[in-house]
Structure 1
């Protein structure tokens, strides 16, 4: 692994474990056993490191939020898999979602990048809800669907922060199932009976795993 890649890997681990505000470039250099000058050669401070990690996160989720082809139909299984993969990516880059407002206020790249990401997330959720509705699985009107859309986005973005405030962050950061269940639970009351029964059974299996 090249030094630049090692720095990014180390920074991600330290940010995730300790929180971004407490980690300095000197901490990274000490962890990697390289000189601060060597680290500075690759990154002129912490901000470009964060910006590049953000780019990696957005690249990781791009295929989920901006698929090259839209499927002809949207099945509940597809929706579940989408959520699972998305929460896996959020857990992998969870430092971005710890006190997100503060991070956006201190780093322009994070503010601009996460606003674009949230826009893409919202658009993708809406596409999926409309598709489920078109296929007869989702029973909502336009206003209810918009409220459901807002609730889904809020839960996904702030789930890890909520768990941290409740003292359950370690479990949520190790396994995406808790977050997936929360988002699935939001859509559950709006589904047709066969789909609701199927999804309820899936949630119960998730909870027992």
Structure 2
């Protein structure tokens, strides 16, 4: 692994463990086993490292989603299930960012602008998934207002389920992440067509 990538990985681990405020570039350099000067050859400061982590987050998140819809059509029940679980594992890998989201984007204006762009792009993906589900006959038809509200509802669940577990004192495990999928199922279930309900029952092993 290249030194630059090692710096990024060490920063993610330290930020997840201690939070961004408690970690300096010296801490990161020590974790990598390099001098501060060597670190500054790759990054000017901690904000640059945060920007590089965000680059990685974008690449990983969008790449993982593309891999899912390459195997399961966007809007299908399988894609919904796999996408939500992927998001929760993604959130756990970059949990410091989810924990400190508001503070980080307030403290770093450039990061805030980037995050807003990514947030809006992801909302469009969720909306596209919902529209695709309706076109596939899996979700009942909705008007524009209902579709947008449903988009917000699903994205809120996906974005903050991990936070919900942690603030409630629950351990983040595969089991509690899967429970998040069940919450999404419950939210989506009342909007499914009869055909989709049959497919879901088959997936759940109840028919």
- In 2: Cα distance, 1:54 partner to 1:175 partner: 26
Describe the superposition over 1:133-180 as per-residue Cα deviations: whole angstroms up to 9, x where unpaired: 122110142233222111111122222222221112x31589742333
Shift of 1:7: 0.8
- In 2: Cα distance, 1:118 partner to 1:56 partner: 15
Shift of 1:63: 3.5
Contiguous gaps of at least 5 residues in structure 1: none
| Counterpart in the other structure of 1:165 | 167
Shift of 1:130: 1.0
- Secondary structure, in 3 states, of the residue corresponding to 1:103? helix
Using the size of structure 1 for normalisation, the TM-score is 0.83
- The correspondence of residues 1-209 of structure 1 with structure 2, limited to 5 A, is 1-63=1-63, 74-142=75-143, 143-168=145-170, 170-172=171-173, 176-199=177-200, 202=203
- In 2: Cα distance, 1:104 partner to 1:136 partner: 39
Contact 1:15–1:23 (8 Å) recurs in 2: yes
- In 1: Cα distance, 2:20 partner to 2:135 partner: 43
Contact 1:91–1:173 (8 Å) recurs in 2: no
- In 2: Cα distance, 1:57 partner to 1:201 partner: 34
Distance 1:202 1:101, change over 3 A: farther
Shift of 1:26: 1.8
Contact 2:65–2:83 (8 Å) recurs in 1: no
Describe the superposition over 1:168-195 as per-residue Cα deviations: whole angstroms up to 9, x where unpaired: 2x31589742333333332121102342
- Secondary structure, in 3 states, of the residue corresponding to 1:190? coil
- Range 170-179 or range 79-88, more displaced: 170-179
- In 2: Cα distance, 1:19 partner to 1:140 partner: 44
- Range 124-133 or range 24-33, more displaced: 24-33
Contact 1:87–1:180 (8 Å) recurs in 2: no
Q: Considering only aligned residues, what root-mean-square deviation do their CA atoms show, in Å?
A: 2.8
Tell me the number of residue pairs that the alignment of Structure 1 and Structure 2 aligns: 203
Shift of 1:62: 2.1
